[in-house]
Amino acid sequence: LAKTTQPISMDSYEGQEVNITCSHNNIATNDYITWYQQFPSQGPRFIIQGYKTKVTNEVASLFIPADRKSSTLSLPRVSLSDTAVYYCLVGDIGRGSTLGRLYFGRGTQLTVWP
Amino acid sequence: GAVVSQHPSWVICKSGTSVKIECRSLDFQATTMFWYRQFPKQSLMLMATSNEGSKATYEQGVEKDKFLINHASLTLSTLTVTSAHPEDSSFYICSARERGALSVSSTDTQYFGPGTRLTVL
């Protein structure tokens, strides 16, 4: 199982772009990269998922270099409500996979200041 | 988007009693559901994988006789904490796996429930 390493905490100000980098040096060929956001006393919320290159949706972008040993979650123009813990996970979740289990690391506590 | 619900959202019980937590996928069918536990200031810990119509697969160190999991239908999985003790007090979260579209490159995304706060006195 690929282990991930993220910064424990990050600080930012409203309106800034935030980039959170995750290292996953032993990612397997079948592994996808998924990011979740969690607020206190709530279940994690799916943000974005990718396999390679760049993925963008309405809330974030995910950049994955060619070697896939790291990934960067980019949050454009953060607001106070983006203060949360962000988790990077890797796992075999391709369609048809009989596994799909996700193992959470410590995550990154992002604090957005006014 | 895919919605997963949990019931109850919180429960307080006496030591020695059993507590059942329900996890439902509201707008999709989930052949696989997962149960996690989270202690304060810690990350989520995967407890077990629940497959519809078959026995759950427990992670190492999780007592299967204490945490009973039933996945009777494609939209419902239950976790029963038997003979609960104060050390079982935690935040229990389920997730359901939504099947991707019929394409080679699609993935199965996991969506999480809102969690259940269990307090054992």
Tokens standing for residue B50: 């629940």
Greater confidence, B48 or A93? B48
Q: For the segment B61-109, what is each residue's pLDDT rounded down to a tens digit?
A: 999 999 999 988 889 999 999 999 999 999 999 999 876 655 545 567 8
* DSSP states along B43-55: -EEEEEEEETTS-
> How far is Cα A42 from Cα A31, in angstroms, rounded to an integer?
26
**Does B44 contact chain A (CB < 8 Å)?**
yes
In this structure, are residues A92 and A29 in contact, taking their beta carbons and an 8 Å threshold? Answer: no
Q: Which residue of A has its CA nearest to B39?
A: A41
Structure tokens at B93: 């979260």
Q: Which residues, 6 or more positions from A57, have their beta carbon under 8 angstroms from its beta carbon? A: A48
Report residue A101's pLDDT band, with 50, 70 and 90 as the boundaries.
confident
Q: Which residues of A touch B94 (CB under 8 A)?
A: 43
Mean pLDDT estimate for chain A: 91
Nearest chain B CA: its distance from A15 CA (Å): 27
Q: Are the beta carbons of B110 and A102 separated by less than 8 Å?
A: yes
Among residues B4, B7, B6, which one has the least CA distance to residue B98? B4
CA–CA distance, A110 with B109 (Å, rounded to integer)? 24
Q: Please state, in angstroms and rounded to a whole number, the distance separating the CA atoms of residues B37 and B21.
A: 12
pLDDT tens across B5-40, in order?
999 999 999 999 999 999 999 988 887 899 999 999
CB B4 within 8 A of CB B94: yes
Mutate to test the interface with A, among B99, B107, B111 (most CBs of A within 10 A): B107
Looking at the partner chain, which of A49, A101, A103 has a beta carbon nearest the beta carbon of B109? Answer: A49
Give me the pLDDT at residue A50, please: 92
In this model, does residue B110 exceed pLDDT 80?
Answer: yes
CB of B110 closer than 8 Å to CB of A87: no
pLDDT band at A30 (very low <50, low <70, confident <90, very high): confident
Q: Please give the structure tokens belonging to residue A6.
A: 């993220």
Burial B86-121 (b: 16+ CB within 10 A, else e): eebbbbbbbbbbbbbeeeeeebbbbbbbbbbebebe
